[in-house]
Copies of this chain bind each other. A is one copy, B any other.
Amino acid sequence: MARTALPPPAVPGTAGAFPVTVDVVALTVRGAALHALVVDRLLEPYRGQAALPGGFVLPGETLEQAAGRELEEETGLTVPAGVTGTGPWHLEQLRTYGPLGRDPRGPVLSVAYLLLAPAFGLPAAGGDAAEARWVPVGGTTAHLAFDHDRILADGVERARAKLEYSPLAAAFCPPEFTVAELRGVYEAVWGTHLDARNFHRKATGTPGFLEPTGRLGGSGPGRPAELYRLAAGVDPTAAVLHPPLLRQVSPGPAAPSA
Residues of A within 8 A of B (CB): 9-12, 14-20, 44, 56-64, 93, 95-96, 98-100, 105-109, 111, 240, 242-244, 246, 249-250
Contacts and interface: CB of A to CB of B under 8 A. Distances in A.
B17 A17 contact: yes
A20 B99 CA distance: 10
Contacts of A100: 60-62
Contacts of A240: 249
B56 A15 contact: yes
Contact of A95 (B9, B93, B107): B93
Contacts of A20: 15-18, 20, 99, 109
A16 B15 contact: no
B63 A98 contact: yes
B57 A18 contact: yes
A15 B9 CA distance: 17
A227 to B, nearest CB: 28
A6 to B, nearest CB: 9
A56 B96 contact: no
Given A105-B11, A244-B244, A57 B99 contact: yes
B16 A58 contact: yes
A189 to B, nearest CB: 16
B15 A19 contact: yes
A244 B243 CA distance: 10
Given A100-B62, A242-B246, A249-B240, A105 B10 contact: yes
A46 to B, nearest CB: 13
A98 B19 contact: no
A220 to B, nearest CB: 35
Contacts of A14: 56, 58
Contacts of A44: 10
A124 to B, nearest CB: 23
A96 B110 CA distance: 10
Contact of A109 (B93, B109, B243, B250): B109
Contact of A98 (B58, B62, B99): B62
Contact of A96 (B15, B106, B111, B246): B111
A18 B15 contact: no
